[in-house]
Amino acid sequence: GKADIAMAGLTINENRKEFVTFSDAYYEASQQLIVMADDDRFDKVQTVAEAEALLAGLGQEIKIGVQAGTTAQFYLEGDPDWDFEGFPVTCVGYKSGSLAVQDMLNGNIHYVIIDEAPAQFIVDAINKLS
């Protein structure tokens, strides 16, 4: 093989289990939707199902940034190996979540979906500057 260990950025799924011997999970990551403070579209959302219903009702004119090649991209675009149906939005890939957020702040995309921990860190940093 080419690697002995992967400690982050490698989500367990059935397809990968054929090629990778995974240990017990040591960390559970979830996806976080980042919105601009003046955007109220998701304000009343309380559950994942409500967020997914809202996302499903959006169109391709809505651009959502993700870190390219991550779970967020598979989630938005759909992927049968992950059992993700996808959403009718435009998924825009970036090298990092922070670059996606910067592009959102610049008005080029509407939302960003990235892992919860970096999302919280980025949002906290931006809010401190405001």
**Distance of alpha carbon 130 from alpha carbon 125, whole angstroms:** 9
Query: Is residue 2 one of the residues assigned to a domain?
Result: no
Cα–Cα separations (whole angstroms), residue 17 to 7, 22, 28, 85, 123: 15, 7, 17, 21, 34
**Distance of alpha carbon 103 from alpha carbon 125, whole angstroms:** 16
Query: Is residue 11 one of the residues assigned to a domain?
Result: no
Average pLDDT over residues 50-79: 96
- pTM attached to this predicted model: 0.84
Query: Is residue 16 one of the residues assigned to a domain?
Result: no
**Average pLDDT, whole number, for the chain?**
91
Domain of 47, CATH number, reads 3.40.190.10
Write out the residue range of the structural domain in which residue 87 sits.
30-129
Question: Is residue 52 helix, strand or coil?
Answer: helix
Quote the pLDDT of residue 1: 62
Quote the pLDDT of residue 31: 92
Query: Is residue 13 one of the residues assigned to a domain?
Result: no
**C-alpha closest to that of 119 among 81, 78, 58, 70:** 70
Contact 72, 113 (CB under 8 A): yes
pLDDT digits (tens, 9 = 90+) for 88-129: 999 999 999 999 999 999 999 999 999 999 999 999 999 998
